[in-house]
């Protein structure tokens, strides 16, 4: 993993900072739900895997976990906001309190679509918990209940976040060096 260091220009968030923020988010979530709510955490594959694993274990709350995989249609690198479901939930969410778990909100297109989709299934509530958000990149405003960090509009990887499927297993979140993608 040593050669990965040259690919990162700056550590944005250390393992400790991430853990602290996850705990903080968990305390806020615990204050809003009870065990009787039977909260369903919905992780968005694949980026949200680390946040989901750590947040779920940090939450002192009865909960279920399920996963969705989605992909943005669209030409080239521009996301169109039209989303295709690659893996749907295994859970019927009618009447359920759903909390979507995401690693990052970039344009917001994925989540705004997902939010509408899950709400249309008759969930009792659908809220969002995202570890990171890039305010400068937002194209659609969405109401995000739990946000960890607002970060600059840089290419970040690690802790679930990838570039070309790499770097997801880094424990910290760092800024990707331009030589990697240019
Ligand atoms: C990334 C990230 C979010 C989404 C945010 O996922 O994990 O899910 O993009 O982008 P948006 O706000 O502009 O819609 P990606 O599509 O790269 O898939 P991945 O989670 O498998 O990496
Ligand atoms: Mn993702
Ligand atoms: Mg990705």
Question: Is 108 inside any structural domain?
Answer: yes
Mean of the per-residue pLDDT values for the chain?
A: 95
Question: Is 66 inside any structural domain?
Answer: yes
Task: Quote the number of domains for the chain.
Answer: 1
Judging by DSSP bridges, how do beta strands 39-45 and 146-150 pair with one another? unpaired
103 lines ligand 1 (CB under 6 A): yes
Domain range holding 91? 16-151
Catalytic residue among 106, 143, 150, 162: 106
Question: Is 171 inside any structural domain?
Answer: no
Cβ(46)–Cβ(168) under 8 Å? Answer: yes
pLDDT at res. 172: 98
Q: For residue 4, what pLDDT band results from cuts at 50, 70 and 90?
A: confident
pLDDT digits (tens, 9 = 90+) for 64-119: 999 999 998 765 555 677 899 999 999 999 999 999 999 999 999 999 999 999 99
Out of 23-37, 77-91, 141-155, which region has the weakest mean confidence (pLDDT)? 77-91
d(CA 6, CA 75) in angstroms, rounded, equals 31
Question: Is 141 inside any structural domain?
Answer: yes
Question: Is 132 inside any structural domain?
Answer: yes
Question: Is 3 inside any structural domain?
Answer: no
Q: What is the CATH number of the domain that holds 134?
A: 3.40.50.2020
- For the entire predicted model, the pTM comes to 0.95
Question: Is 128 inside any structural domain?
Answer: yes
Question: Is 104 inside any structural domain?
Answer: yes
pLDDT at res. 3: 76
Residue nearest to ligand 1 atom 14, measured at CA: 110
d(CA 145, CA 23) in angstroms, rounded, equals 15
Return the best residue to mutate from 43, 47, 158 for the ligand 1 pocket (most ligand atoms within 8 A of CB): 47
* Mean pLDDT computed over 135-146: 96
The single-letter DSSP state of residue 62 is -
pLDDT at res. 49: 98
Cβ neighbours around 93 below 10 Å, total: 18
d(CA 53, CA 49) in angstroms, rounded, equals 6
**106 is an active site residue:** yes
């Amino acid at each position: 993993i040593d050669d990965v260091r040259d690919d990162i220009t700056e550590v944005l968030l250390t393992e400790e900072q991430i853990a602290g923020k996850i705990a903080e988010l968990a305390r806020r979530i615990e204050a809003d739900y009870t065990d009787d709510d039977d909260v369903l955490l919905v992780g968005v594959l694949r980026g949200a895997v680390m946040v989901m694993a750590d947040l779920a274990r940090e939450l002192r709350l009865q909960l279920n976990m399920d996963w969705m995989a989605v992909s943005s249609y669209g030409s080239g690198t521009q996301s169109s906001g039209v989303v295709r479901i690659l893996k749907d939930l295994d859970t019927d969410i009618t009447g359920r309190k759903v909390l979507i778990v995401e690693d990052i909100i970039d344009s917001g297109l994925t989540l705004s679509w997902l939010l509408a989709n899950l709400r249309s299934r008759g969930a009792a509530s659908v809220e969002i918990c995202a570890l990171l958000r890039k305010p400068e990149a937002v194209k659609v405003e969405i109401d995000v209940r739990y946000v960890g960090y607002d970060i600059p509009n840089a290419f970040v990887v690690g802790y679930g976040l990838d570039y070309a499927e790499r770097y997801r297993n880094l424990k910290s979140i760092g800024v990707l060096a331009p030589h990697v993608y240019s």
